[in-house]
Amino acid sequence: MKENYAVENALGTIGAVLWMVQILPQIIKSHREKTTKGLSASLMFIWALASFFLGAYIVAQRLSIPLQVQPQAFGVLAAVSWCQCLHYERGYSLKSVWAIFIAFCCAFAGFEAGSVYALWAGQRNGVEWPILMYGYISAVLLAVALLPQYWEIYKYREVIGISLLFMVVDILGGVFSFLSLFFRNDLDIAAFVSYSLVVVLDGVVVILYFILNPIAERRRARQAGHHSDSEAKIEGSSSVGMSTAPTLVGHGLMIDKEVQDDGDRRQDNVRVDSEMEQSRVDDRERMKAGAAEVEVHGPKAQGHESRDHQESIVKKA
């Protein structure tokens, strides 16, 4: 297309603004939920690493100012999201996370500043391939970064942990940045490939979201239904067991009661028999004692004793 600096700058500005804030929805989501489950930490780390090369490349190429600012914001926000993954999922302390983040920012600034001046020195000497190398490295890293995220999607069979708004904003930023390239005299191939990959690969994630997530919801609903049926069967079996248990228990109590009553009756009979036997023994002892007294005291005592014995027998009767 014909060079148009105003259009290039406008489209580049829109794309850069979108890419500056694209990771903010993801950062907010992770902070509110206190988890990054389903979000690949490798995705954010590789994106943060890609910004080293992308930032140096865009600045060295002297692209529009918004496009030069974009990799810096992108890299810092990607580092923040990566640190969230380290904190929430891998248990890093806040002090460790802050130390990692500060070290990253220092390395980012030092690497980019040194790279830009080195690349400009090469340009002055007619050496252009290092700049192209930086551009292609950033493009490859931006593309490869989404592979770990695809693995997370495959592992969970759905898209979780990722802010859909984050993906949409990233796609829009790629579209506007991509279009801005066509309003320059020379088409930047490295930026063209990089922006194209961002749009396509992010688009795949969004498509998978609308395909896999409804399937996962139906799968969970079926599992919940099977679980409810299993609980109902278990409760039914328990109720049947409880309904028969009182009958068995009652029957057992009746049997125990009958056995106890029979035992009580036997004990009473044995007690009565023992008392009658003891009474007969006592009577025989008294009769012997009476006979002995008669021999000693004569008939009178015998008659008296006989009357006492008869009275005792009457009383017992």
Q: What is the largest CA-CA distance in the chain?
A: 166
Predicted pLDDT of residue 177: 83
| CA count, 13 A, side-chain hemisphere, 208 | 19
For 113-157, write each residue's pLDDT tens digit: 999 999 999 989 988 899 889 988 988 898 889 899 999 999 999
What end-to-end distance do the CA atoms of the chain give, in Å? 140
- Triad 195, 73, 186: Cα angle to 5°: 35
CB 292 within 8 A of CB 303: no
Stated pTM of the model: 0.66
**What is the pLDDT at residue 195?**
82
Looking at residue 229, its pLDDT comes to 65
pLDDT at 295 (0 to 100): 52
pLDDT of residue 115: 94
Handedness of CA 223, 229, 234, 238 (dihedral sign): positive
pLDDT under 70 in the chain at which residues?
1-2, 227-233, 235-279, 281-283, 285, 288-317
pLDDT at 76: 94
CB 25 within 8 A of CB 165: yes
Q: Which long-range contacts (CB under 8 A, 24 or more apart) does 24-28 make?
A: 24/77, 24/166, 25/163, 25/165, 25/166, 25/169, 26/81, 26/162, 26/163, 26/166, 27/77, 27/80, 27/81, 27/84, 28/163
Residues 145 and 71: beta-carbon distance below 8 Å: no
Return the pLDDT at 260.
54
Locate tokens 């990566």: which residue? Answer: 82
Q: What pLDDT does residue 16 have?
A: 82
Instruction: Check residue 190 and give its pLDDT.
Output: 72
Please give the pLDDT value at position 85.
Answer: 95
What pLDDT score was predicted for residue 172?
92
